[in-house]
Every structure is written in structure tokens, then in C-alpha cells.
Copies of this chain bind each other. A is one copy, B any other.
Amino acid sequence: MDEGMSGFCIKASAAGCGGGNGTGTKCGRWNPTTEQVKVLTELFRSGLRTPSTDQIQKISTQLSFYGKIESKNVFYWFQNHKARERQKRRKVSISVHDDHHNHNHDLHHHHQHKDFIRRMDKISSPKHFLEVNHHHHHHQVYDHHQPEKVMETLQLFPLNSFEEYSEPEKLMIRSMHANHDHHPPLDLRLSFL
């Protein structure tokens, strides 16, 4: 897995890194070698989560033996790894329960995939509050319109209201949910917000 799964992500795009590092590494973005990842992972597994500046420097120095690397890469690596690890731990696998799933009332379209039942526990989704953006013009022009409330209420199937329910799973939902917008009962369909 991880890098081990293949270990060929070495993309040598000779795009003038100018760096002058003889390794012909791509400059755009650090591409860790398998060895580097291995070591980093090992350190992480050992319990290191937020290395100090000194540690970061040392680590990157050592890792530079395997290829181009900068301290900030190490820094980011740990940040990301930690964050994603946690994120992963907080997934709620819901579709594992096969109640009456014979959902084949689909229309006769092209190809229909019957791939099911498999417990691929992986990361899940991040959480955040409603970020009904405030039209702050960033350097991007997306998020054109965030409807105040996406009221679609796409009632497509026998909705199962599971508002604040937490299955006996390991819902690690550390709810930072301060207060949802005082949603009274909230009909919980596909109408969010």
C-alpha cells in the first residue's frame, strides 16, 4: 500500500527545476521516495506526531540521503499524516447494513454495476460547519452561488431519519458541533442545511 504498493511514482519531468540538484527530481512538488516515506512512517508509528523544529531539521537532513527533500516537506508530511489519520478514524460506515437493498428498481440504462458489500474502511470525510461563504473574493472565482439553504428535498427513497443517531459503531464524532442553526426537528431528507 501506500508507497509500497507500487513505488514508481517517480515522475521525472525535466521542467527546469533550476535547483541544480543532480537528482533530476521534479521541482514542482516534493515526491518522496519509498525510503523516505518508509522512514517517515516509521517515525510516525513510533509515536512522533508533531516534530519540533530541530527534529524536523534532523530528519530532513537524514532523509536527504535518499533524495531531495526540504524541512518543510517533513513538516507538512507530519501534519498531513496526522490529520488524515484522524480523519480516517472518523468514518461512519453506513452502507454496510443491507436491510432491504434490492434496489434494482433502477431504470434500464447502460451498464449496471453490482458491486457491493465490501467493507472498505477508509478515510471518510472532513467536517466543518456551514461555511456559507461570505463572498470574499479570493484569488478564485468559484463558489459562485451557495444558496442560503439548499432546499432540494429530494425525496427519493424511504428516508431513514437518523439525525443525531450514532450507530453503535465507533463513531468518533468528536462533535465540535457547537450549535447547528437551531434546527428544530429538521426533516432530514436530502435537504440539508
Contact = CB atoms under 8 A, between A and B. Distances in A.
Interface of A: 1-7, 9, 15-19, 21, 23, 25-27, 31, 33-35, 37-39, 41-43, 46-72, 74-75, 81-82, 84-86, 88-95, 101, 103, 106-132, 134, 137-143, 145-147, 150-152, 154, 156-160, 162, 164, 166-167, 172-174, 176-177, 180, 183-184, 186, 188-193
Contacts of A21: 114-115, 164
A114 B33 CA distance: 9
Nearest to A49: B143
Contact of A60 (B72, B89, B94, B145): B94
Given A6-B122, A43-B152, A154-B39, A67 B113 contact: yes
A48 B94 CA distance: 21
A2 B52 CA distance: 23
Nearest to A123: B71
Contacts of A193: 42, 46, 55
User: What is the oligomeric copy number?
Assistant: 2
Contacts of A71: 91-94, 120, 122-126
Nearest to A2: B4
A93 B56 CA distance: 11
Nearest to A114: B21
A114 B37 CA distance: 15
B130 A31 contact: no
Given A19-B167, A70-B120, 15 more contacts: A1-B37, A3-B4, A17-B118, A21-B115, A25-B113, A39-B154, A43-B150, A52-B180, A58-B192, A59-B188, A60-B126, A71-B120, A75-B174, A82-B142, A108-B139
B183 A52 contact: yes
